[in-house]
């Protein structure tokens, strides 16, 4: 049985047994908060548990490193949607220690891509779109600096509702311990 088949079989039982009932919620975040964090698989359950967030409490946005890299990225658009259309009133940017984006050099990632058989023509196609792969594919050197940078992009966005609190935090992906970004 393939992984997809297993998922579909499990899902049929999940619905049939009404296992969804404990998770029923409205589409607007009860705690009026938006979280931007890393896609790291250790944070799937740990982060909400460590912050006492349940289904329906918060808007959760995830990407590599929780990095908000541009005021016009899809992440920033999602933040604005959460604030204007979904009733969120505060933004929490949460990086984490031991992140895969910490120290990730774009040169290494580009080499890894090439090792998988993607050739220079593909990189030329990326450059033709005005994107420098060496700038685009890198990580960060300091989680605190990266969180502060992301917070600053949100805070300085011309379309951010006035007085929106934007907090920068760092979580430990083992213990769930949360601290303010330095
Ligand atoms: Zn991460």
The string of pLDDT tens digits covering residues 11-24 is 999 999 999 999 99
- Give the residue-averaged pLDDT of 156-172: 98
Q: Is residue 166 within 8 Å of residue 178, measured between CB atoms?
A: no
Q: What residue ranges do the domains of the chain occupy?
A: 27-104+139-180
- With residue 73 as reference, give the H or E element that holds it: none
Distance of CA 3 to the CA centre of its chain: 25
Question: What's the 176 CA to ligand 1 centre distance in angstroms?
Answer: 13
| pLDDT band per the 50, 70, 90 thresholds, residue 27 | very high
Kindly state the average pLDDT of the residues 103-123: 96
How far is it, in rounded angstroms, from Cα 179 to Cα 42?
17
CA of 39 to the centre of ligand 1 (A): 6
The predicted-structure confidence for 126-138, as pLDDT tens digits, reads as follows 999 999 999 999 9
Q: Edge-to-edge, what's the strand order for the sheet holding 166-171?
A: 58-63, 33-38, 90-96, 166-171, 178-180
Percent of the chain with pLDDT over 70: 100
- CATH dotted code for 27-104+139-180: 3.40.1050.10
pLDDT at 1 over 90: no
Tokens of residue 58, six digits: 């918060």
With a CB cutoff of 8 Å and minimum separation 6, the contacts of 69 are: 150, 153
> What is the Å distance from ligand 1's center to 138 Cα?
13
- Tell me the CA–centroid distance for residue 53 and ligand 1, in Å: 19
- Cβ-contact 155, 76 below 8 angstroms: no
What spacing in Å lies between the alpha carbon of 17 and ligand 1's midpoint? 34
């Amino acid at each position: 049985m393939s992984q997809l088949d297993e998922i579909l079989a499990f899902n049929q039982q999940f619905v049939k047994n009404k296992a969804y009932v404990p998770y029923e919620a409205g589409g607007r975040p009860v705690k009026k908060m938006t979280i931007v964090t890393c896609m790291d698989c250790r944070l799937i359950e740990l982060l909400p548990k460590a912050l006492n967030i349940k289904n329906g409490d918060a808007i959760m946005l995830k990407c590599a490193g929780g990095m908000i890299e541009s005021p016009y990225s899809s992440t920033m658009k999602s933040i604005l949607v959460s604030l204007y259309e979904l009733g969120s009133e505060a933004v929490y940017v949460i990086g984490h220690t031991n992140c895969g984006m910490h120290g990730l050099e774009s040169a290494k990632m580009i080499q890894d891509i090439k090792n998988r058989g993607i050739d220079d023509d593909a990189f030329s196609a990326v450059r033709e779109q005005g994107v420098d792969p060496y700038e685009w594919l890198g990580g960060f050197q300091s989680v605190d600096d990266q969180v502060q940078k992301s917070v600053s992009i949100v805070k300085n966005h011309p379309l951010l509702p006035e007085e929106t609190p934007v907090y920068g935090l760092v979580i430990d992906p083992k213990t769930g311990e949360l601290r303010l970004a330095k």
